[in-house]
Every structure is written in C-alpha cells, then in structure tokens.
Amino acid sequence: MSFIGDGSGPLGRDMDGAAREAAEQDRLEAEVAGTRPGAASPVGDDAMTARISADAARDLIRAQRPWPLPKQADPKAPLLVVEDLRTHFKLESGWVKAVDGVSFRLDDGEALGLVGESGCGKTTTALSLVKLLPGNARIRKGSQVKLFDIDLVPKSEAAMRRYRWREISMVFQGAMNALNPVRRVSEQIAEPIEQRLGVERGASLRRAGELLELVGIPAKRGSTYPHELSGGMRQRAMIAMALACDPAIVIGDEPTTALDVMIQAQILELLERLRRELGLSLILITHDLSVTAETCDRVLVMYAGKVAEEGPVRRVYSAPRHPYTQKLMGAFPNIHADRRALEVIPGQPPDLKDPPPGCRFHPRCPAVMEVCKVEVPPEVRFPDGVRVACHLHPAGKDGGVQVDAADVADYRAPLVAPVPLGGIDRAGEGPAA
C-alpha cells in the first residue's frame, strides 16, 4: 500500500513553528511510509486513508472523540508522553528496578510495540501507565505519565478511575483468566459501559452486542459464558470489552501469545482494522517481534528496564543498531530466511535488584567495549527517527543527537498515523447527537 499524495494531505498542514522539522519529517515519511507495515492491512489502498500531517491527524482523531477531553487536558498536547518512568518493586531482599528511566511518546492513531524478553519491564511499563501495579510497586519521583498533558502519576486511585478504561483500556493475555467465568460475556462487556458512562442496562447490553459484532462475534453469542467460547473468540470478546468506553489508547499485553498462528493472524488483523477505523492508539506488549512487525508503526525494544532502541518498525527491524536488537532478530526463526541460522544470546537477563554497571547489556554483548562496563550509554536520536542507547552509536556519528526525556516528549515520530475519514460513527457523535 502506498499513501496518496506527496506529503500535503487533504487537510493541509499545520505550520506552527516546526516547519523545518516538519519538512524533514516529510522526507522521512516519504521514505518510510511507502513500506510501512500497514501494508498488511486488509483496508489497503482505499480512499478512507490518506496521508496528512501529524497535527492534522491528531485534530481529526480528537474531533471524532465521542466525549470531550478531560477538563485539564491540553487539546494540542501529544496523546501520551512518558518521561523518565521509574517503577521499582520492593522485595524482602531489596528494590527491583523493573523499569528504570523509560521515555516514549505515543501520538493519536499510532501503534507502538513494546518488545523484550520476559522480565525486561515491558508489562510493568504498561501497567504503570494506568497504575494497575501490585502493592509493592512504587513509581519513583520524577517519573511522568502525561495523557493530554495531564500527569497521571500523582493522581489518586479515585481520580485514576476517570482515565482507566475510558481513556486507556487493556487487553490481557489470558482471556480465560481476565473474563469472569460465571457471568455472560455481554454482561461483562456492558459493565464498564454502565459503570463508567452511567448508561441504562438495556442500552448498554445493546451496545455490548454491537461491540461483539464489531470484533467479529455474532451478537447472540454474547449470552454465552466465557468457557463456551473458543480461545480466539474469548480474545475477541476481550477486545470488545476494551473498546466498551471508546478509549483513546488500547494496551494489548501479549494479546495473541497463547493462540494458534491462524487465530493470531486473525486477531492482529482485527486490531489493525480497529485502529485504522476507530482512530485508536495501540500499545502492543509482546516478546514476539513478528507481532509488532505486522501491526505497529514504531517499536520500542526494552532491555533490563531501559530502552535499548526505539524507532519506526521498518527502520529498526531492517537495520537494527543495538546489538541486543540484532541478537533478538537473529534468534527469531524466520521462515523466509536461511534455515538453522539461529543466533543465541549467551547468558541471562540481569538481576534487576543489582543490575550491571554501565550498559546493562554489556555482559551478554558480542561487541562489548571497555566503556560499556563503566558508563551508561546515553540515548541518541538519529535522523531516521531511531533512538538508540549504545556506545557503538554515539552522538555525533551519522548525525546522531543525544536526547533526554524531555526531548523524547517533544519529538514527533516521522510517521503519520492512518486516519479514518468517514469511518464508523463513534458513540456520541452519530445522528442521535
């Protein structure tokens, strides 16, 4: 699929102050967009999708919101900015630094993949966004999670409820565990609609039925119990539940991991379609690189609680810079590559109670240098939009610029999210409104 036009979308562009940056982005867009992973999408090359500037995309998606932005929201702010997130767990034996200084930004309509081995902190990062953390977890001072420029970190539990599910919802891995076995599926989907939106029972059940249709389950199957559905169907029901309140962001925590390949392909296809047509933003957490390759615009590779590499999927996967990303790619059995050329990453992820000094990957790194053992590599942004924390790619080389958390927040990804133009009506916006 190729995007229509040469960069000036139908809505024109917002030239507020960042014209030069935007021009640079355009060049990258043209380069990257032609091969963006959305190519796998069934929506394909149709008029519903057009390439427009990121600001226009943002405004368009926000204009379609079924209900107003939160009161304190800045309508021009990026959707989600995570700055220097540090989430630590207290154990008997000390503090486990599960997430230790992670920054990223998520724009409207964008899909971001969080990739890494188990224990790298990807799930903790996601749970920190909605503060659904176990009791022994603490989000450290200085961490910021800003949704429409509202910092969620200091919010009370009661205040967080305003944002959970209504702005950020989740699809969990084990659908069987996440669904209540003794309640009908449609009732469970209707529950957040009633609770959060104060909708009457009948209307909420009707909407639940429609949401089920939306994810490809006949509405009448809503009256069944979770165990009567197959694994794929349960995962679809979980997605319907996540969509119940028309959230801005859906976090998928290993949403396809336990499923068969064919079902996995179906679910990913569904997520991709929903994202395009509902203007959702997706965060996909997975250890499976292929899932992000097929579904995401950008990927963030985590290692031992830190960002190893982040950037446009196609960029990162076709020319990985960080040795960890390289190893991870090499370890993935690829049916289209030479067989039995599997890479092994020696050793194990470090104990996050006492992570190694310097670069956390250095004990396992094939290209380790002396500096890696003492100095923590800074995050460096390259012109193609890839951010890497590795001494092999220092600032200055290939036009790399050292960035800090605030820079990450200000940096707009060079990819433009696909925008629904005349997609389906979202709640609150249709003829009834």
Site for another protein in 59-118 (CB under 8 A): 59, 62-63, 65-73, 75-76, 89, 91-92, 96, 98, 117-118
Q: Which is nearer to another protein, 74 or 375 (CB)?
A: 74
Judged by CB under 8 A, the stretch of 139-147, 254-262, 376-384, 411-419 that binds another protein is 254-262
Q: What is the CA 75 to chain-centroid distance, rounded?
A: 21
Q: What is the DSSP letter of 77?
A: S
Nearest CA-CA partner of 109 in 298, 386, 267: 298
Dihedral sign (CA 414, 312, 106, 153): negative
289 binds another protein (CB under 8 A): yes
Q: Which is nearer to another protein, 394 or 423 (CB)?
A: 423
Residues 302-341 that bind another protein (CB under 8 A): 313-314, 317-318, 327-329, 331-336, 339-340
Q: Which residue in the block uniquely carries the two structure tokens 């009256």?
A: 223
Rounded distance between C-alpha atoms, residue 14 and residue 418, angstroms = 17
5 binds another protein (CB under 8 A): no
Q: Which is nearer to another protein, 302 or 405 (CB)?
A: 302
Rounded distance between C-alpha atoms, residue 194 and residue 165, angstroms = 12
- Among residues 22, 130, 199, 241, the one that binds another protein under rule CB under 8 A: 199
The residue type of 282 is L
- Among residues 27, 90, 161, 397, the one that binds another protein under rule CB under 8 A: 161
301 binds another protein (CB under 8 A): no
Tell me the three state secondary structure of residue 238: helix
- Structural contact between residues 304 and 358, judged by C-beta atoms closer than 8 angstroms: no
- Among residues 204, 301, 306, 360, the one that binds another protein under rule CB under 8 A: 204
- Minimal distance, residue 370 CB to another protein, in Å: 25
Judged by CB under 8 A, the stretch of 172-180, 206-214, 367-375, 385-393 that binds another protein is 206-214
265 binds another protein (CB under 8 A): yes
- Minimal distance, residue 404 CB to another protein, in Å: 28
- Structural contact between residues 310 and 381, judged by C-beta atoms closer than 8 angstroms: no
**Dihedral, CA atoms, 152, 153, 156, 160, nearest 10 degrees?**
40
30 binds another protein (CB under 8 A): no
Instruction: State both tokens at 361.
Output: 């990957």
159 binds another protein (CB under 8 A): yes
Q: Which is nearer to another protein, 269 or 407 (CB)?
A: 269
Q: Which is nearer to another protein, 28 or 371 (CB)?
A: 28
Q: Which is nearer to another protein, 75 or 399 (CB)?
A: 75
Q: Which is nearer to another protein, 304 or 405 (CB)?
A: 304
138 binds another protein (CB under 8 A): no
What are the start-end ranges of the H helices in 243-390?
261-278, 289-295, 313-318, 323-331, 370-374
Residue count of the chain: 433
Rounded distance between C-alpha atoms, residue 174 and residue 99, angstroms = 23
- Among residues 4, 28, 40, 401, the one that binds another protein under rule CB under 8 A: 40
Distances (CA, A) of 223 to 191, 204, 216, 218, 349: 14, 14, 15, 10, 45
Q: Strand 144-147 relative to strand 401-402: parallel, antiparallel, unpaired? A: unpaired
355 binds another protein (CB under 8 A): no
Phi-psi region of 331 (alpha: psi -120 to 50; beta: other; left: phi over 0): alpha
Q: Which residue in the block uniquely carries the two structure tokens 């929903």?
A: 274
Residues 364-393 that bind another protein (CB under 8 A): none
- Minimal distance, residue 103 CB to another protein, in Å: 23
213 binds another protein (CB under 8 A): yes
